Amino acid sequence: MKRVAYVLILTVFLALTTDCSRKVTRLDPNTQTDISGRWNDTDSRQVAETMIADVLSRPWLSRFQQAHAGKVPVVIVGDVTNKTHEHIASETFIKDVERAFINSGKVRVVENAMFRQKIREELASQQDFATEESKKKLARELGADFIMFGTINSIVDEYKKEKTISYKVNLELADLESTEKVWIGDKEIKKYVKN
């Protein structure tokens, strides 16, 4: 009886450990993959590209350049608040927007409040600990002309084994001096998921 129990336990152990194999395949980061149906890197990249193309094609940019002798506007990309039903790392979306702005060459980007504070701390530290030749001067920050902020929202419609997930990203660009909203953009993504 002990021998049968031993063989049975060994068989179950082997079955559990050998059936649980995992295969990992490297993909091109630009490959569109959608395994879960949730917000992913493709959604973030597509929304950022669409929003940047829209914001850069609107009149606020040419009006600013005409009023400031061809100067390139400076933008802070502020908070993009996740109001969806799932965890979304909005920092990756913000970086997608910042990268697209910078790479366009039409807008300059400065750090948001959190990172400006870290830079200021480093500058203050340099005043005491860096050599005279290498320390950076205080009060030389590039002032922003505009700030961008927004939200990511979602609506889920689900019945039995089917659901749709609709994401809507709203972004706004405001003049820092006048607080005038100079651009509002939105982008929607809708996904159908069947289990």
| Within-domain flag for 9 | no
Does 43 fall in a domain? Answer: yes
User: Measuring CA to CA, which residue among 174, 1, 4 is closest to residue 77?
Assistant: 174
Task: Indicate whether 25 belongs to any domain.
Answer: no
Mean pLDDT of successive 10-residue stretches along the chain, which has 195 residues: 65 61 76 80 88 94 92 94 90 88 93 83 86 86 93 93 94 96 96 90
7 found inside a domain:
no
For residue 56, tell me if it sits in a domain: yes
pLDDT of residue 108: 95
Q: What was the pLDDT predicted at 8?
A: 65
Domain interval for residue 165: 38-113+146-194
Query: 104-128 b/e with 16+ CB inside 10 Å = b?
Result: eeebebbbbeeeeeeeeeebeeeee
In a domain, residue 166? The reply is yes
pTM of the model: 0.77
- Let me know if residue 133 belongs to a domain: no
Q: How many domains does the structure of the chain reveal?
A: 1
- The domain that holds 75 is classified in CATH as 3.40.50
pLDDT tens for each residue of 60-97: 999 999 999 989 999 999 999 999 999 988 888 888 88
33 located within any domain? no
